[in-house]
Structure 1
């Protein structure tokens, strides 16, 4: 357990907070590209307790500005897209994507006021269906050449969802390999042929055994945590027999993402992005190593659970996450349906808006969470001292990154140490786009 002061130190992200200062040094997902609708590509964005307006101008360029007009504070999210920028409806002041004031039309002819006005603007970039922003000081880091960023658009799909809790407890569920055997337990195994787009419903790599069966019957994983140049690598072993062992390798990409296997053909790269201290969005990029992603099917599957325009869950604390006692007795461990996002949402939201870590008691299987918290505290303290933190990389360094490898499969028990590397290489050799990235 930790003290209340230590808990605030790692969870609070508003302006001027220690953790907030750290996270502002990194690119943050702020919207899906699809959210900027063609008819009016303007959207309000809240990130780490600050309010912004995101828009695409008539030339197709993206801009992110502070949401309050510097004239008298009116809401620019209701602005008009015209004349090369975003115009405030209150008095007609016009701003371009760089925050330059182009016009103050209500002022007298010849007024120089416009030349003295500058609205705060922030770098934005599109990556694999997600718009990222940098709201920190100085130059932003480069994007690592991870699979999710270099795969062709045909082979990636992006989505998001809202959690009503602090970002850190949302992230930590993905650094906990043991929970899947309980929280995501199914009492019956479905046909793996109908598992497309669904996590924990297919078969493990190099096996015809459903992952649901592995998790249900082998619930004591041996977990190892290693430092990596991008953050942490977690390896979970479940011994199925003397001859075979289930291997699952997941990754924490500092500061707040993880890369995990979804199936033998796809990985998930997922960020947990603070809206404020008590809400966060998860943003995910699904990356296929085989054929193009069926984006419509993936989107339709997720819209069965999430409602637009804010990507809120149809199952939530106001309807008990769809809990059904008969289902809990006979079908799923939680009684909350088949979508594991609902299971995760219940687990992290039930901890409270900000988990009270003064009351927790960590066990052996929490070694990934312990390692991450140490890394987080170290990076926050380095930021306070004006020193470097992990993954603040330049373009040359970014080009050296790949993967990171993430595999769920069944290995011969005497080859578990090399299974991830070997399986990842085999998958890449057979991929139309990833094979070109192999270096040896």
Structure 2
């Protein structure tokens, strides 16, 4: 059972808090690249309880600075991007992406005040449509060679959405293979060809059986857990009959991302990033192993649910997540529509702003969550003591060994499911039009 002290230790993310200290050791998604457009290449960002301003200068360089101007604390999120930096509208002080003060124009011409001013800045890099920032001390870790980072831009699509609860419960739904048979149950199957880009609507690989049918008719998965060099592999097995078993391979990418199959064609790598202790954003990269991603269609689908500029769900607690009792009786298990993001959002937000884990009773299908919490507590301890780097704080050499990982949703011979998922992944990678390196040698 999780104690109150352990729960607070895992969930609180502000500066100096145990989980906050750990998460600052990693690159964190802060915005989609499309949020910095030509009209307004400046955005306020709140991350792990801290306020920042994110901007792109005229040369295309990205900067993340503390949001309060070091002169008299005015809000730099209203700054003017000009003259090689971001200018505070209050008195015209100008800062570059590294926080250097370039000008204090109201001061006397011979003033040296500017040379003594430095605004706190943080490294920012662009990866596959997402801007990542590093808030920790010292050198940031290297990025691993995950599929979502090495696929070409044409084969990735990034999006995000807000969730009104703590980051940890939002993440944990992604490492719970059992919930999909209930929370995401559809009473009727649809044409997979008409559901491009939608979760659980495709056929399972190497079969003509829709994933919706698998989840609906086989609700008691056997779950296998394997610790890996990137975190954890989860294998959910649903025996269809003596000859065939459905195999779904997903992954926990430590510390706060999971990697799952969207279809035989596409995977999702999704981070859950704390805004503060009681809000988070999910950031997802969809990676195609076949043709280029139809980004226009993927974006249009998701904008039906999320409202700009803050990517707030249109269905939420204020409108009961679109709940329809007739739909619940006739079409979906939740009665909350077809988008599984709404289902997940209801599930985790209904647990409260910060789930009280002292009141839960975990079962055998929660082994992924149990394993993850053990890993998380160990890493929090390591971040506090500094005796050894936590899992996935990588140098350049170690990062090259983290590949893939494998995701599969397919139907295998019952007696050979272990060989099947490895072979199916190898076939997928061999047929990919971009370099999708084999991962088994590194596992």
Class of the TM-score when normalised by the shorter of the 2 chains:
over 0.9
Alignment partner of 1:434: what SS?
A: coil
- 1:196-243 CA distances to partner (integer Å, 9 max, x unpaired)? 100001100001100000000000000011100000000000000100
Give the Å deviation of 1:434. Answer: 3.3
Q: How does 1:299-314 map to 2 (within 5 A)?
A: 299-314=299-314
- 1:96-129 CA distances to partner (integer Å, 9 max, x unpaired)? 0010000111111201110000000000000000
In the aligned structure 1, how far is the partner of 2:131 from the partner of 2:262? 23
Alignment partner of 1:110: what SS?
A: coil
Q: Which residue in 2 is equivalent to 1:66?
A: 66
4+ residue runs over 3 A deviation? 434-440
Q: Which residue in 2 is equivalent to 1:118?
A: 118
In the aligned structure 1, how far is the partner of 2:355 from the partner of 2:338? 26
Give the Å deviation of 1:84. Answer: 0.8
**Is 1:199 matched with 2:191?**
no
In the aligned structure 2, how far is the partner of 1:125 from the partner of 1:426? 32
In the aligned structure 1, how far is the partner of 2:436 from the partner of 2:137? 37
**Is 1:413 matched with 2:422?**
no
In the aligned structure 2, how far is the partner of 1:130 from the partner of 1:274? 16
Q: Which residue in 2 is equivalent to 1:174?
A: 174
- 1:169-214 CA distances to partner (integer Å, 9 max, x unpaired)? 0000001000000000000111111121000011000011000000
Asked if structure 1 preserves the Cα contact closer than 8 Å seen for 2:262 and 2:268, the reply is yes
Q: How does 1:231-310 map to 2 (within 5 A)?
A: 231-310=231-310
Q: Which residue in 1 is equivalent to 2:324?
A: 324
Q: Which residue in 2 is equivalent to 1:95?
A: 95
Alignment partner of 2:186: what SS?
A: coil
Q: Which residue in 1 is equivalent to 2:424?
A: 423
Q: Which residue in 1 is equivalent to 2:230?
A: 230
In the aligned structure 1, how far is the partner of 2:436 from the partner of 2:129? 22
TM-score (normalised: structure 1)? 0.99
How many equivalent residue pairs? 440
In the aligned structure 1, how far is the partner of 2:436 from the partner of 2:159? 26
Asked if structure 2 preserves the Cα contact closer than 8 Å seen for 1:188 and 1:331, the reply is yes
Q: Which residue in 2 is equivalent to 1:32?
A: 32
**Is 1:85 matched with 2:85?**
yes
Q: Summarize the Cα distance change of 1:439–1:2 in structure 2 as closer, same or farther, 3 Å threshold.
A: closer
Asked if structure 1 preserves the Cα contact closer than 8 Å seen for 2:151 and 2:435, the reply is yes
Alignment partner of 2:236: what SS?
A: strand
Q: How does 1:342-357 map to 2 (within 5 A)?
A: 342-357=342-357
Mean Cα displacement is larger for which, 90-99 or 1-10? 1-10
Give the Å deviation of 1:399. Answer: 1.4
Alignment partner of 1:89: what SS?
A: coil
Residue segments in structure 1 that go unaligned for 5+ positions in a row: none
- 1:130-178 CA distances to partner (integer Å, 9 max, x unpaired)? 0000000011100000000000000000000000000000000001000
Alignment partner of 2:403: what SS?
A: coil
In the aligned structure 2, how far is the partner of 1:279 from the partner of 1:174? 17
Q: Which residue in 2 is equivalent to 1:209?
A: 209
Give the Å deviation of 1:435. Answer: 5.0
Give the Å deviation of 1:400. Answer: 1.7
In the aligned structure 2, how far is the partner of 1:388 from the partner of 1:56? 32
TM-score (normalised: structure 2)? 0.98
RMSD across aligned positions (CA): 1.0
